[in-house]
Amino acid sequence: MAFSGKYEMESEKNYDEFMKIIGLPSDVIEKGRNFKIVTEVQQDGNNFTWSQLYPSGHSMVNKFTIGKECDMETVGGKKCKATVQMEGGKVVVNFPNYRTTSEIVDGKLVEISTYKDVTYERVSRRLA
Protein backbone atom coordinates (compact mmCIF):
# COMPACT_ATOMS: atom_id res chain seq x y z
CA MET A 1 0.00 0.00 0.00
CA ALA A 2 0.99 3.64 -0.45
CA PHE A 3 2.04 4.35 3.17
CA SER A 4 3.53 0.99 4.17
CA GLY A 5 7.22 1.25 4.93
CA LYS A 6 9.91 2.35 7.33
CA TYR A 7 11.05 5.99 7.32
CA GLU A 8 13.79 7.94 9.10
CA MET A 9 13.45 11.64 9.90
CA GLU A 10 15.57 13.67 7.51
CA SER A 11 14.44 17.25 8.21
CA GLU A 12 12.01 19.28 10.27
CA LYS A 13 10.80 22.86 10.42
CA ASN A 14 9.45 24.84 13.41
CA TYR A 15 10.11 22.03 15.91
CA ASP A 16 10.78 24.25 18.94
CA GLU A 17 7.93 26.69 18.31
CA PHE A 18 5.37 23.92 17.73
CA MET A 19 6.38 21.76 20.70
CA LYS A 20 6.32 24.84 22.96
CA ILE A 21 2.84 25.92 21.80
CA ILE A 22 1.34 22.45 22.37
CA GLY A 23 2.65 22.56 25.92
CA LEU A 24 5.75 20.35 26.10
CA PRO A 25 8.22 21.32 28.84
CA SER A 26 11.49 22.91 27.67
CA ASP A 27 13.62 19.99 28.93
CA VAL A 28 11.57 17.55 26.82
CA ILE A 29 11.81 19.85 23.80
CA GLU A 30 15.58 20.09 24.24
CA LYS A 31 15.96 16.32 24.61
CA GLY A 32 13.88 15.60 21.50
CA ARG A 33 15.48 18.15 19.19
CA ASN A 34 17.11 16.52 16.14
CA PHE A 35 16.10 13.00 17.17
CA LYS A 36 16.28 10.72 14.15
CA ILE A 37 12.76 9.39 14.69
CA VAL A 38 11.97 6.20 12.77
CA THR A 39 8.36 5.89 11.64
CA GLU A 40 7.05 2.50 10.61
CA VAL A 41 3.70 2.26 8.87
CA GLN A 42 1.80 -0.94 8.19
CA GLN A 43 -1.24 -0.42 6.00
CA ASP A 44 -3.80 -3.08 5.16
CA GLY A 45 -6.55 -1.35 3.20
CA ASN A 46 -8.08 1.15 5.64
CA ASN A 47 -6.37 -0.38 8.69
CA PHE A 48 -3.12 1.17 9.90
CA THR A 49 -0.48 0.59 12.54
CA TRP A 50 1.59 3.77 12.80
CA SER A 51 4.67 3.45 15.02
CA GLN A 52 7.25 6.05 15.93
CA LEU A 53 10.48 4.85 17.49
CA TYR A 54 12.70 7.32 19.33
CA PRO A 55 16.47 6.93 19.89
CA SER A 56 15.80 6.97 23.65
CA GLY A 57 14.02 3.62 23.28
CA HIS A 58 10.55 5.14 23.70
CA SER A 59 7.95 4.24 21.11
CA MET A 60 4.47 5.46 20.27
CA VAL A 61 2.07 3.15 18.43
CA ASN A 62 -1.32 4.18 17.07
CA LYS A 63 -3.62 1.61 15.47
CA PHE A 64 -6.59 2.94 13.56
CA THR A 65 -9.10 2.34 10.80
CA ILE A 66 -9.95 5.18 8.44
CA GLY A 67 -13.34 6.64 9.33
CA LYS A 68 -13.67 4.94 12.75
CA GLU A 69 -13.10 6.52 16.15
CA CYS A 70 -10.14 5.04 18.02
CA ASP A 71 -7.80 5.64 20.93
CA MET A 72 -4.73 7.65 19.92
CA GLU A 73 -1.61 9.04 21.56
CA THR A 74 -0.49 12.59 20.72
CA VAL A 75 3.05 13.89 20.19
CA GLY A 76 2.95 15.10 23.79
CA GLY A 77 2.05 11.62 25.04
CA LYS A 78 -1.57 12.41 25.88
CA LYS A 79 -4.25 9.79 25.22
CA CYS A 80 -7.36 10.85 23.32
CA LYS A 81 -10.08 9.66 21.00
CA ALA A 82 -9.89 10.65 17.34
CA THR A 83 -11.32 9.67 13.98
CA VAL A 84 -8.71 9.42 11.24
CA GLN A 85 -9.82 10.43 7.75
CA MET A 86 -8.36 10.03 4.27
CA GLU A 87 -8.53 13.29 2.32
CA GLY A 88 -7.07 13.37 -1.18
CA GLY A 89 -4.46 10.71 -0.43
CA LYS A 90 -3.53 12.28 2.93
CA VAL A 91 -4.08 10.65 6.31
CA VAL A 92 -5.67 13.37 8.48
CA VAL A 93 -6.06 13.37 12.26
CA ASN A 94 -7.74 16.10 14.27
CA PHE A 95 -6.26 15.72 17.74
CA PRO A 96 -7.80 17.76 20.59
CA ASN A 97 -5.30 20.63 20.19
CA TYR A 98 -3.76 20.23 16.71
CA ARG A 99 -4.31 18.75 13.25
CA THR A 100 -1.86 16.44 11.49
CA THR A 101 -1.74 15.46 7.83
CA SER A 102 0.57 12.76 6.47
CA GLU A 103 1.25 11.99 2.83
CA ILE A 104 3.83 10.39 0.58
CA VAL A 105 5.61 12.91 -1.67
CA ASP A 106 8.32 11.65 -4.01
CA GLY A 107 8.72 8.52 -1.88
CA LYS A 108 9.12 10.50 1.36
CA LEU A 109 6.74 10.66 4.31
CA VAL A 110 5.70 14.29 4.87
CA GLU A 111 3.92 14.99 8.16
CA ILE A 112 2.51 18.45 8.85
CA SER A 113 1.03 19.39 12.23
CA THR A 114 -0.78 22.69 12.77
CA TYR A 115 -1.89 24.40 15.97
CA LYS A 116 -3.36 27.89 15.65
CA ASP A 117 -0.90 29.70 13.37
CA VAL A 118 2.13 27.44 14.01
CA THR A 119 3.00 24.67 11.55
CA TYR A 120 5.53 21.92 12.18
CA GLU A 121 6.80 19.86 9.26
CA ARG A 122 8.73 16.60 9.44
CA VAL A 123 10.07 14.91 6.29
CA SER A 124 11.29 11.32 6.51
CA ARG A 125 13.12 9.30 3.89
CA ARG A 126 12.12 5.72 3.14
CA LEU A 127 14.42 3.08 4.61
CA ALA A 128 12.41 0.04 3.52
Which of 86 and 55 is assigned the larger pLDDT? 86
CB 52, CB 7: distance < 8 Å: no
pLDDT of residue 95: 87
**How does residue 1 score in pLDDT terms, banded at 50, 70 and 90?**
low
- Counting beta carbons within 10 angstroms of the beta carbon of residue 54, is it exposed (0 to 12), middle (13 to 18) or buried (19 or more)? middle
Q: Tell me the mean pLDDT in the region 8-30.
A: 93
Q: Tell me the mean pLDDT in the region 12-29.
A: 92
Q: Tell me the mean pLDDT in the region 79-83.
A: 93
pLDDT of residue 6: 97
Whole-number percent of the chain with pLDDT over 90: 77
- Indicate the CATH number of 5-123 among 1.20.1250.20, 2.130.10.10, 2.60.40.420, 2.40.128.20: 2.40.128.20
pLDDT of residue 79: 92
CB 9, CB 111: distance < 8 Å: no
